[in-house]
Amino acid sequence: MNLFLSCFLLVLSVSASYAQNLSREQQIAILQFIEAVKNNDSERVLSGVTYPFNRLYPLPDVKDKPDFLRRYHEILDDSLRSVIVRSVPSEDWADMGWRGLMLHNGLVWLDDKGSLMSINNLSDAERTQRNRLIIHEKNALHPSVRDFMSPLHLFKTKKFSIRIDEMPDGSLRYASWNVRAKAGEKPDLIIPFGKYLPEGSGGNLRYVFTNGDYTYECSFFVISDANRLSANLSGFHQDKKILSQKAVYIKN
């Protein structure tokens, strides 16, 4: 599962009151990044990037530097580069502590040294490609779960394959299969109308789905930065926990 959307939701859960004034060193790092973007110096822009570099699922993550160089103008298109170049460190950027340096409401994230951490923006080219991939994914699924608007999370535990989708009405849907089942098979369990619950200011995410006396929680925990999460699936019968399994992301 790609974590791009999780990072965007994380940003929305963080109050601007947590932003700190930028130090002189941080402003210099941001200005150097802005200058590199302005000059189309892709080598400098990509210096220090950690791979894979997340893109919004089901877009493929950027696997390495050559891949990023190939997709550079697709990801950092003219519109995004213009926003970055026009930005002013003291006005448009914020120090979000251990999360990094944030442009506007999380559009771009850098670390303290000015290295690119994440981009929470889709260019027109990426949006077109993503829509095409979503259609392809829908056609590969069982008809009972093809009617979603956007895939949010796709992950698996030792026993289950699970997906969380956003529906056309904005609600959330949970679907799970036996981990050995194929995506084209009918899910063993489908639960509509789930809830998204941000977990404080730390960026942790939790989705809760209720099916009669049973409740399933899909939790995502920040490991080290705003772009890295671990996951866990918990199940409850009434108030008794009956299931707890660590989850891993299924990469496309």
The string of pLDDT tens digits covering residues 78-113 is 999 999 999 999 999 999 988 899 999 899 999 999
Mean pLDDT value of segment 210-227: 79
| Per-residue model confidence (pLDDT) at position 7 | 46
- For residue 64, count other CB atoms closer than 10 A to its CB: 11
The string of pLDDT tens digits covering residues 106-140 is 999 999 999 999 999 999 999 999 999 999 999 99
C-alpha distances in angstroms, 163 versus 3, 173, 251? 13, 8, 12
| Per-residue model confidence (pLDDT) at position 6 | 46
* Beta pairing partners, 235: 216, 243
Residues with Cβ within 8 Å of residue 31, at least 6 apart in sequence: 89
Mean pLDDT value of segment 41-67: 94
CATH-assigned architecture of domain 142-249: Beta Barrel (2.40)
- For residue 32, count other CB atoms closer than 10 A to its CB: 16
- CA angle 79/84/88 to nearest 5° reads 140
Encoded amino acid at 68, one letter: F
Encoded amino acid at 115, one letter: S
The percentage of the chain sitting over the pLDDT mark of 70, rounded to a whole number, equals 86
| Per-residue model confidence (pLDDT) at position 168 | 95
Mean pLDDT value of segment 188-208: 83
Region of residue 206 (phi > 0: left; psi between -120 and 50: alpha; otherwise: beta): beta
Q: What is the biggest distance separating any 2 CA atoms in the chain, rounded to whole angstroms?
A: 59
Q: Of 182, 245, 181, 193, whose CA–CA distance to 218 is shortest?
A: 245
Task: Give the global pTM.
Answer: 0.81
- CA angle 89/91/94 to nearest 5° reads 65
Q: Using 50, 70 and 90 to split pLDDT, how confident is the model at 8?
A: very low
Q: Are 234 and 228 in contact (CB under 8 A)?
A: no
Q: Are 123 and 80 in contact (CB under 8 A)?
A: yes
The string of pLDDT tens digits covering residues 220-233 is 876 654 455 678 99
Q: Using 50, 70 and 90 to split pLDDT, how confident is the model at 15?
A: very low
pLDDT at 70 over 60: yes
Domain boundaries, the chain: 4-124, 142-249
First to last CA, the chain: 7
* Beta pairing partners, 205: 198, 220
